């Protein structure tokens, strides 16, 4: 695989890029970096995700493909603002890019959210971990087969009443992905749409392929 943001060890020289954004009414002062997805800015898809949804209820949440942590940290920040104790609400960010894992954990510490959010490489996530919700701006550009494998592998960790919320560009196959995920036993509906992006919600069905 060539050197992309979804490479484990990007070869581009590492330079930190601070920026600020707002998510669900919470200001986040973050540090992104070279070789990490959406360096120095909040990407349009994630901005649409925040605009078209409300944060999840406290529980065990997975931020799949967390990058430098923006979605998972936004969730954790909302829980803190609502006075939710650290124990009942926990966010795990999973990311193959080791540089991004480092930045996500640094951002959590800088925001005082390290007791609610922790980023890990996929192989470091406990095998028995399960989740109430999965949130993701998934790495569509890894290719269809790899994406399908990624989603099915993590959707298998959804608890029986759990859900997944994804934001996907229409021009990157959001509608076909919605149909495919539904066919795998995770009925999927569109819950938002803006600026060429679909926000999809998937639920575990009785015929889920896990």
pLDDT, tens digit, for every residue of 152-186? 999 999 999 999 999 999 999 999 999 999 999 99
Which pLDDT score, from 0 to 100, does residue 61 have? 98
Which pLDDT score, from 0 to 100, does residue 6 have? 53
Total-model pTM = 0.92
Inform me whether the pLDDT recorded for 64 exceeds 80.
Answer: yes
Which pLDDT score, from 0 to 100, does residue 189 have? 98
Looking at every residue in the chain, the average pLDDT score rounds to 93
Which pLDDT score, from 0 to 100, does residue 146 have? 95
Which pLDDT score, from 0 to 100, does residue 3 have? 45
Which residue carries 């095998």 as its tokens?
127
Q: What percent of the chain has pLDDT over 70?
A: 94
- HSE at residue 196, side-chain half, CA atoms within 13 A, is 7
Average pLDDT over residues 136-157: 95
Q: Report the candidate in 18, 40, 17 with the shortest Cα–Cα distance to residue 29.
A: 18
SS3 of residue 170 by DSSP: helix
Is the model more confident about 116 or about 8?
116
Inform me whether the pLDDT recorded for 4 exceeds 80.
Answer: no
Instruction: List the domains of the chain with CATH numbers.
Output: 44-203 (3.40.50.150)
What is the CA 96 to chain-centroid distance, rounded? 12
Distance CA 36, CA 100 (A): 6
Average pLDDT over residues 79-89: 91
């Amino acid at each position: 695989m060539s050197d992309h943001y979804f490479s484990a060890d990007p070869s581009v020289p590492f330079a930190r890029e601070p920026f600020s954004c707002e998510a669900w009414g919470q200001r986040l002062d973050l540090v992104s970096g070279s070789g990490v997805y959406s360096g120095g800015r909040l990407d349009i898809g994630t901005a649409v995700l925040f605009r078209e949804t409300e944060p999840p209820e406290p529980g065990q949440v997975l931020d799949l493909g967390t990058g430098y942590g923006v979605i998972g940290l936004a969730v954790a920040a909302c829980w803190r603002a609502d006075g939710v104790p650290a124990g009942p609400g926990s966010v795990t960010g999973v990311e193959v890019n080791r540089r991004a894992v480092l930045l996500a954990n640094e951002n959590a510490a800088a925001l005082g959210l390290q007791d609610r959010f922790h980023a890990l490489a996929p192989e470091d996530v406990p095998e028995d971990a399960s989740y109430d919700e999965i949130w993701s701006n998934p790495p569509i550009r890894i290719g269809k087969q790899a994406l399908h494998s990624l989603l099915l592998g993590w959707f298998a960790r959804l608890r029986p009443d759990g859900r997944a919320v994804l934001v996907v560009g229409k021009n990157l196959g959001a509608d076909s992905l919605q149909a495919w995920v539904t066919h795998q036993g995770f009925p999927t509906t569109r819950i938002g749409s803006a600026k060429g992006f679909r926000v999809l919600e998937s639920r575990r069905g009785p015929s889920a392929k896990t």
